[in-house]
Amino acid sequence: MAKQQPELGRKSPIRLRLGVDIDTFRGVNKENDPGAIHDTEFQDLVNARVLANGKVVGRGGQERIITDPMDGCVVDIVDDDPPYEPSASRLYYDVPGNLSHSRSVWGADSLDVHNFIGEVDMLEEYSRRFASYGGQLLVSRASTRAMESVNLETGETTVEFQELDDFIRAFAYFDFGDPEEGDKLIVAISDDATDKVKQWGGGGSVTEIGSGINGPDLLMPRLCTSENVHDDLFYANTDRLKRYNAGAWTNIALPGGLTKWQTRDLVDGGSLNRVFLCGYDDLATDVGKILSYDGATATVARTIANCTVVSAGAMLGSIFHYAWTHSGTGQVNIGRYDGSTWNDTYKNLTGDFAGIAGPVYRLYVFNSNLHAGLGGSGTHKLLRSHSGSVSGTWRSVHTDAGVVAGDMIAHTA
Amino acid sequence: MHLFWTDAGKLYKREPGSLVRTEVSLPAGTVQRSPFTRMSHVVIPGQRVVIFVGQFYQNLIWRGDTGQLLTMGIAAPTTAPTLAASGTGVTGVVTGRYTFAHVDADGVVVAESNMSPASNTLSLVNQGRLWTGFETTHTNARVNRIRLYISVDGDEYLHVPEEDIILGTASTDENVATNELDQETPGSMRRGVPPGFKYITYYANRAWGATGDDDSFRFSELDELESWPAVNELKTRDGRRVTSLKALSDQVVIGTRSSIQDVQGYSADDFNVRILTQDIGIISNGGAIVINDKLWFPSQDGYYRYGGGGFQFLMPNLRTYFREAYEADPQTYQDLVVAIDRRRHILKVLVPGEDSITRHPFYYVAHYLPCETEFGGVGGLPYWAFDERDNFDRTIGTLSEDGELLDRLYTGSCDGLVRLEDVAGNQDDDEDGAVDFEVRIVTKHFLPTGQGGDDAHTPVFGDLDVHVKSEDKAFTVSTYTGDDSATDAAEARWVKAEPASAATKQGRPLVAKTSHNFKTQNGAGKGGAVKITCTSPTVFEYRGIDWEFEPIGGNQTRDKT
């Protein structure tokens, strides 16, 4: 008789699989006996996290946020500004339907949810401008040569004032010092003969401010106000920079060596205590430049190689950012200046969005992020930085087959 | 602006997003406490104002709008001015006082002292006033103006407008008409310099501070962060020394080592102290924090929370562990620092490290979602884990970069650097390129057939399926079999290294493997536990185990007949 095969024990499993046997793991338990703790607890759990879906994952590593060590052990970390609160405003911007003056106005919230507002035919790209004043979203409209308010529900517009011979090409806000008046809306107007700067008094009322602004027909007037530079209103155009000073426009000499300066943007440098002019020197070198006026002297602050035009600028916090396109490769760049160092290629937008094409017609800060309105043939029309990091990966707010996005503005309806 | 203090007594600032930090000048006369005392701070909502107390004998106030760090409060003049007739213009019997003030470039009075003693009484008939005898220096470097106050015919002291003078000026004359005096008066003398606090908080539009030296705590005047009249003082009901001061919704919670009390009310007349418990205390002010309108705080046997209705112990699974660690090193545990990662819903409690004695930091990590019903939890206990780190972390806190909806967690270390925490995909803790942290998981000790029997009648463990995804790093699986204390053994009964699961084969990417089968050997004992370790992974997920066993031991159960 054959020897009986010995019987081994029946195999039984300890089963502890997430999603099959249990719905979550719990944390560590060192209080109870290792054999007495719950199946989903651990004797030890180190450098791990229990996700809301029950899974245990490894924690992430670290990333330095400053490069230069401080003296001593860091013993307190403080943010003097409470966590960011999304603005109640929406960002309104224009996207063209085609090369004509037929444009559409769009709005987007802080989560990039955007919707179509309406058709408003606006000026050519560089001269297209929005304003937000008196609770109204205002546009400079091409067909009527008027400043019109936009009904944000219907997209219909209403003429607020109109000067039939003139195009309204720039807006600014300026406090003339009357404590009961507050900021006034300032408009820059160009017509066939002269430029003018006027103050809108509501309704159809406009009043020319200052004297001495008159000049030839110049298509790219720009305005800005600066609290830190004479606390004044500034005007720039082709070959000129002017300051509104005690009721008159005074000329500020541009740097020597420029052949024909073409302004594309005029930016208040805030805490950098200067006004920046973005543009290019026509005819001579054909290179993009940034001029700087510190209240005393205007100088060439930056000349960028392989750049035909510095097309836009904006302050994000205390740092000046500017946009330009590499004339050879077509790479769209955001440069920056922090008061001591220039970095022309701080952000390569083409690296994030292949196929985009400059120029950037507008840089604008909304919800603490830098937004860039793009021209050229690419489909991405409006890009923005994320989490306040200009050097990080950008996001596309709006794609469209049109050609350019000319302007944008934050406005609370 | 982001601000960083170091134990060298230096303050640095950083623009959000910038890699550069710059040192901020400290006010003249600032002296650091010895021995080192951890800073307590409170950020005043919406003002970019931060009050810092503790590390220095002086209380400091940061004003973000001007980027200035100032010594909080201005001491009053102790010398009376002298008034004499000069010129024309005023009729009446007058006395004068003056204050020291910090006035900004726009003429706004940022802070002001109480008034000096009163001058001589002067009768004027269509005469002006010549002021002399001003003190011309002040120990607080921010003082830049002297402000004049006049009392006419016994009425209250009113500010003399347009006549503020620069500190250092010994005399001035003026003839401001009585009916043109400002109605502004500090006549209540409710300003004053507070003592050097160690704890600070903000409640009911007042700052609240405590020196931590005794049972008293103070509050500032309404909307005047730098005015601390001596009468604005309360004491704990049981006479215990204050160890913590935290605002919580509509109350200030005062901790002592073994009791907790609170103050409710909105005006000085309403403030009263009541005892909440005499059984639980707060051992560390820096270890207490408000989450979802509940105060989480460390007591002597672990973390509790208080939401106004009662106390809940949050560490029943770590009670002995925490208490023994506290008893072994009470000084370090009284210096706990806590911060919330709102993105990951975790609370991190730092037991600070110290490089001078090579004590590495240790973190208690609480996953608080399970206990917060408002956040979708079930009202249970938080899940706890630990973090270990090679850096010598001394603090942890939150910062928000521009545009961020939620702040993030950062640590400050003894190498003078500040680092963002829990960066997904980053396997390096300190960016020094070295191997840093080890994920370590040890399961419970499974006792499949109970604890009865002797060593000859135990289960034998066999196939082990470990459900782990570790895409980029090899991981190690160990088993510990035997009695409940098997994991205390110096060596595992069985060990196996498994390669990373996201390998490629012949150039083709493979989907990461999430289950791994092992033939464990020599795994006999009353029970068994599994330990899984992985060094510096970027993607590591654990979903459990399946472990087979033979209920009755193999060879020991063979029929020998």
Compute the half-sphere exposure of residue B119: CA atoms within 13 Å on the CB side of its CA: 26
A63–B542: do the CB atoms touch at under 8 Å? no
User: B431 and A63 in contact by Cβ < 8 A?
Assistant: yes
DSSP letter for B371, please. G
Asked whether the beta carbons of B47 and B66 are under 8 A apart, the reply is: no
Closest CA to B244 of B293, B211, B195, B196: B211
Asked if A245 and A256 count as a contact pair (C-beta separation under 8 A), the reply is: no
B9 to A72: CB separation less than 8 angstroms, yes or no? yes
**Which A residues in the span 42-71 are in contact with B, Cβ-Cβ below 8 Å?**
42-50, 52, 55-71
Decide the pairing of beta strands B408-413 and B418-423.
Answer: antiparallel
Q: Count CA atoms closer than 13 A to B139's CA, side-chain side.
A: 11
Q: What percent of chain A is predicted at pLDDT more than 90?
A: 37
Neighbours of A185 (CB within 10 A): 22
Residues A269, A227: Cα–Cα separation, whole Å: 10
Interior/surface letters A319-338, b for 16+ CB within 10 angstroms, e for the rest: bbbbbbbbbeeebbbbbbbb
Contact criterion met (CB < 8 Å) for B19 and A18: no
Confidence band of B557 (pLDDT split at 50, 70, 90):
very low
Subunit contact B417:A69, Cβ cutoff 8 A: yes
Closest approach of A161 to chain B, Cα-based (Å): 37
Mutate to test the interface with A, among B1, B4, B318 (most CBs of A within 10 A): B4
Judged against a pLDDT cut of 60, whether residue A217 lies above it is answered with: no
Mean pLDDT in residue range A115-134? 74
Q: Give me the pLDDT at residue A355, please.
A: 86
Summarize the confidence of residues B402-423 as an average pLDDT. 87
* Min distance A395 CA to chain B CA atoms (Å): 13
Q: Distance (Å) from the C-alpha of residue A345 to the closest C-alpha of chain B?
A: 16
Confidence grade of residue A164 (pLDDT, cut at 50, 70, 90) = low
Token pair recorded at residue A50: 């229990």
Instruction: Please state the pTM of the whole predicted model.
Output: 0.72
- Measured between CA atoms, the residue of chain B closest to residue A14 is B547
Is the distance from CB of A107 to CB of A152 less than 8 angstroms? yes
For chain B, say whether A2 makes contact (Cβ under 8 Å). Answer: no
A256, B79, B332 from B327: Cα distances, Å? 75, 53, 10
Alpha-carbon A140 to chain mean position? 21
- Has the ipTM of the complex gone over 0.90? yes
Handedness of CA B57, B58, B59, B62 (dihedral sign): negative
- Alpha-carbon span B154 to B149, nearest angstrom: 13
Pick from A77, A110, A336 the residue to mutate for testing the B interface (most B CBs within 10 Å). Answer: A77
Which amino acid is located at B4 in the chain?
F
What is the DSSP-derived secondary structure letter of residue A256? T
pLDDT at residue B502 greater than cutoff 90: no
3-state secondary structure of A350: helix
Instruction: Tell me if B484 and A11 make a contact (CB, 8 A cut-off).
Output: no
Chain B hits for A34, CB-CB cut-off 8 Å, are 444-445, 484-485, 487, 529
Is residue A182's pLDDT more than 80? Answer: no
**Residue-wise pLDDT tens digits, A220-257:** 789 999 988 988 999 998 888 999 988 889 999 999 98
CB-based contact, A192 to chain B, within 8 Å: no
Q: DSSP E strands: which ranges in B104-192?
A: 109-112, 122-132, 145-152, 158-159, 165-166, 171-174
